[in-house]
Amino acid sequence: MKITKVVQQKNDKNRFSLFSGDEYVGSATAENLSPYGYGEFEISDADFKKLMDQDDLEKATNKCIRYLARAMKTKKEIIDYLYKNKVPVEIHDLIIERLEDLGLIDDKRYLEMYLDERFNYSTDGSLKIKNKLFLKGFSSAEVDPYLEEYRDKEEENLKDLMAATKKTSRGKDKNKMIRYLMNKGYPYPMISDLIGAYFTDD
């Protein structure tokens, strides 16, 4: 294939549009294009495919970086994002590897930060928190050891939640109260240990 024209893009000075005759055939970054130059050049079909594959990788990686700028994400969330944006499956692992090398994906750090935030700044119990983490790609084996570290904090949160509910209708009905607390994600054995004292205090 002969590339007859290389045009710098207006919205991104680091990218160039490639033309063969009057036909637009693709784009590439300055770095990926540098081996061929920025004027006319001949390129084999195989090398052109490699150039386009590399460009797909660059574009998808940069798109993920912009996505991550909004908030930290897990590896599974990034993969879901790649599927949603129809990024070729064969480059998913390369993108994940790049993002990990850049320190933009770190599931262990994400898990630690998420648990700290949920147990300290929400009223959710461990079962609800764990379920949300499942949706983010974490397994029981990864989450359970951390949950043990928060057991005392969870019990403290449960007591605070029960106290805050005292004046509501559910706070005066034991069964309603139990259902409410279970829906918030607190384990039944923990609720059972505290519920008796709660209603005795009334």
Which tens digits make up the pLDDT trace of 154-172?
999 999 999 998 888 887 8
Contact 165, 184 (CB under 8 A): no
Q: Give mean pLDDT, residues 101-117.
A: 96
The number of domains in the chain is: 3
Enter the DSSP assignment of 85. Answer: T
Asked if residue 22 is part of any domain, the answer here is yes
Contact between 164 and 155 (Cβ < 8 Å): no
Backbone angles phi, psi at 186, to 5 degrees: -90, 140
135 located within any domain: yes
What is the rounded distance in angstroms from the CA atom of residue 156 to the CA atom of residue 186? Answer: 12
Residue 200, pLDDT above cutoff 80: no
Cα separation, 71 vs 112, in Å, equals 15
pTM of the model: 0.81
Domain span holding position 134: 115-201
Answer yes or no: is 121 within a domain: yes
pLDDT, tens only, 42-56: 999 999 999 998 888
pLDDT of residue 181: 95
Residue percentage of the chain with pLDDT more than 90: 73
110 in a structural domain: no
Counting Cα atoms < 13 Å in the Cβ hemisphere of 119 gives 20
